[in-house]
Amino acid sequence: MKYIFELPRVSLPVKDREQQFPVNRVFCVGRNYAEHAKEMGADPDREAPFFFSKPASAVFVPQGEVPYPPRTGDLHHEAELVVALHRGGHSLTVAAARDCVFGYSVGIDFTRRDLQAEAKKQGRPWDTAKGFDASGPMSELVAVEDCGWLDRGAITLSLNGEQKQQGDLSDMIWKVEEIIAELSTYYTLQAGDIIFTGTPAGVGAVNRGDVVDAAIAGAGQLTFRMV
């Protein structure tokens, strides 16, 4: 007997357009803001960026609510600029990397911090800490041709109306095009890949019932309640 499986493709809406952006792979950059590196106990010097992944199924645009995940008592918010690629390549130059960007979104890299801490202690992978269901909520995409190149602008996150994270895209240790170029030395990047580009200082716990409001100048806003 022959089995044929058709898996659903994750896609993101694009602001003011009818098209959907199909998501391929999800890459994330760790400790890309100096103050966040410090609060995590790391050296903020400009060392080479390091990467980890989330499954595409972690990404979605919430309709007002995001589910609190199981197996954690310490879920943390990390507001990030997300870039979406409409073309890729291998060992890209910085200039070529810049041309790969289709658009931007406001994203949250949710982290089961207790599981991450235990994984670090044991020298184990972070998959269960970073790659769980609904761990990457995002706002709709804004095309570069509609908002321009974003290399500066406020990035903030508030929790129940109280500001927790505040920074500027210009504070990124590695800029967007540098991240893409470096990542392309490890992978042949493809259309549909998205990259979470790191979070500013102020990460902290989120609980059920909390209202999360993240915003990035030029990229939009993402607001939801944890349920």
Mean pLDDT by 10 residues, the chain (227 residues): 70 96 96 75 73 96 97 98 98 98 98 96 96 97 97 98 97 96 98 97 97 98 98
Which of 160, 137, 136, 142 shows the shortest CA–CA distance to 213?
160
- pLDDT score for 40: 64
Phi, psi for residue 64 in degrees, rounded to 5? 90, -15
Q: Give the CATH number, domain containing residue 175.
A: 3.90.850.10
Does 38 fall in a domain? yes
Domain assignment present for residue 4? The answer is no
Which residues are 167's β-sheet partners? 155
* 211 within domain boundaries: yes
**Strand 194-196 to 26-30 pairing:** parallel
Assigned domain for 3 exists: no
Beta bridge pairs of residue 214: 157, 222
Number of domains in the chain: 1
Strand (E) or helix (H) holding 34: helix 34-39
Distances (CA, A) of 92 to 51, 77, 104, 182, 185: 17, 31, 20, 8, 7
By residue range, what is the domain housing residue 22? 11-226
Cα(212)–Cα(223) distance, integer angstroms: 6
Do the beta carbons of residue 161 and residue 97 sit within 8 Å? Answer: no
Q: Is 139 part of a structural domain of the chain?
A: yes
pLDDT of residue 160: 98
The DSSP call for residue 192 is T
pLDDT for the residue 77: 98
3-state secondary structure of 172: strand
Amino acid identity, position 209? G
Residue 6 lies in a domain: no
Please give the pLDDT value at position 46. Answer: 67
Q: What pLDDT does residue 9 have?
A: 81
Residue 193 corresponds to which tokens in the numbers above? 């890949």
Query: Is 5 contained in some domain?
Result: no
pLDDT of residue 217: 98
